[in-house]
Structure 1
């Protein structure tokens, strides 16, 4: 399989040990890896269960799925891969004649391939067309939002999804003023122009991070998909089955926390009173893990 884009990186799955510790209840169980990525967690599940388990891997990104397919080709075990949004896990299970499973794993956020493969438009580090779609059949790209949303709509997205509390209106105004904006670097310059120099320099992360995150979430309707998926999951878990979710920013974590609380004592028992965070050693070896948080719950 030849990847359609230049890509020389490799995704390193986050909190694998902790995820398996909470997820696995049976070696011969059926597990759904809702966010397959490059297949790291799925491979770990198969290895930890001595290839006795079945893993159903889902990814809405066809290119990432193809990459995982190549990496998992030689794995011994029952792995089934599907190019669908994890929101549609129930459709996949129905097609396989499976009513309930023993666990769901969601590793949220953007993948290394999406950030580093040329032409996906997720990153502020390289100049390329504004895209940011995880599902390449999605008709809405980041360029559409940047150029078609009103200033007020843009400010709302940046405020709510980028956690850009003080400067969302200024950034939206700067974007509208510079339209049409077609590339990532043009967007970065619009953001740069909106922020005072002292504000840009004091931020620990790149000054465009929050706006890029906001647009990515809006393009892919990420929080809505998380909420709707977690609403459905308990009905597809065997008693004692687990759902494990790894998040990478506060909006995701808050969405998961609220979803679990709504089901607490009714369908779910919460296993993590506070989110589990990666070890200091993992953060040293894989800086991407620094913002990860894991929450888990069990079907009553």
Structure 2
């Protein structure tokens, strides 16, 4: 039997759980110390005690930093979930006051949803919870769920379907796709047909770098194929690349309308049917009743992200 199993759980200081979760996430004694508000020597002492308890080095020196040992990789998710459960347990009995709260909340978001949701969210926080700081990390439909399951973030904003059994979600808004071109693009000199659309070089947003997407699936069902001349990984970069080229971009309507206002681009309806998507908010079941996150989720769910009128067909 290992020492951790043989040890009476009552003899373990709960501060060690806090230190363990921070050390395994940050993979650095100094960053973990900053995260939990303790001195570096105290955090080093906590690491030494944890190594004794687990009978494992946990953090293994590699170059100038550390990597997790296999045992540390194994317990990382459990440590994060244990910390979240502790927070929820002890915070439930305390009235949460957003106006006086001082804390960090970690959010995973795609750049599309960050562009749509963060401006109104920050405006809401500045008024009602000025002491809450957001730490936003990039995510796609896969990592948005895995980061929650690992305890690396408190909330995910993404398009990822229903998620996982231990991950809860709430739809935020439905979005449709539109076509974005520079003003005077030759596409608009003729009838708006799928055949003419497919005849112009395309710009595709693809976080994996793949040269085909949902548009190409739709065209394929019509017996058409387009040339994807350029792929980029970021939605917010894409409209800028259209301004001085004949590239045709298909993108969600909210970001397209922002690009129209900022860059003077032309936004048009697609000349063929294409399914839209639902933006969702995700959170781990272990934080379902944690008051600060319950409050934040209510704020996010109530954000006014607008529903611009569909563009007219050219």
TM-score normalised per structure 2 = 0.24
Point out the structure with the larger strand share: 2
TM-score by length of 1: 0.25
